[in-house]
Amino acid sequence: MPENIACKTVLKLPQVDSTNAYLEAGINEGRAYKSRSVIISDFQTAGRGNGNNTWESEAGKNLLISIFYEPIKLKAAQQFYLNMAVSLGVMECITDILDEEEVSIKWPNDIYVDKMKIGGMLIKHSVSGKYLINSILGIGLNVNQQVFNSNAPNPVSLIHYLKTNQNRDEVLDLLLKSIDKRLNQLEAGYLNLLKSDYLKNLFAFKNYRRYLYENKLINAKITGVSEFGSLQLEVANGEALECDLKEIKFVF
């Protein structure tokens, strides 16, 4: 596998609306970022999750980063492979730290410890023709926050398991190395490996459980994900479903 440039922090900010928005504004203003440049902030005033969800993070307690990434010949139709690579990188970082806990990826890109959310991603792509030209990889990882005040149902941090404050710089270093490994695999064309590893680590994969689909409770199991990232399920009655993020909801 060829050697690739590593993720590297280029700017640390005490506060920003969101690291993704800051990076996107810089790109639009013509600032030149090298691929895998990392922006990090101690606090976000308008942190976002998927959809209209907000991301709660106490100042100076967690990791809030955005990575500027230029995919190498990755087609727009293959963009979910980038999602898989980053999700695996974040998950494997947490697995290395919490080696006695069950860590998984909740589709499409949340990281769970057991049934608790410890991290998540928000990825935005720019496309030219058939190919991605760049992506902004936003990542939030709960590290030392002990109390959450939002109505998020299941947040958790590393400190809940390790019982002591963690050095955020050390966690960041491990996180970026873990993401680098998976991005290198993506650039080397190991798409089948990424998908296989993603499915192996997918929360509730091949296990029947409850979901809310079209405002109705169903009992179904995840059977896969499409190249575009849609979730593929099989209902208990044998019906096959393929859903995007707005169509299906996990019920806990």
Of 10-19, 49-58, 134-143, 238-247, minimum mean pLDDT range: 49-58
CATH match for 209-250 among 1.10.10, 2.30.30, 3.10.620, 1.10.3470: 2.30.30
Higher model confidence: residue 4 or residue 22? 22
List CB contacts of 102: < 8 A, sequence separation 6 or more. 113, 114
For residue 184, is pLDDT > 70?
A: yes
- Assign 4 a pLDDT band (cuts: 50, 70, 90): low
Question: Taking the domains of the chain in order of start, what are their residue ranges?
Answer: 8-200, 209-250
CATH match for 8-200 among 3.30.930.10, 1.10.287.610, 3.20.20.80, 3.60.20.10: 3.30.930.10
Q: pTM of the entire structure?
A: 0.94
The 10s digit of each residue's pLDDT in 218-229 is 999 999 999 899
The 10s digit of each residue's pLDDT in 26-85 is 999 999 999 999 999 999 998 665 555 667 899 999 999 999 999 988 999 999 999 999
For residue 1, is pLDDT > 70?
A: no
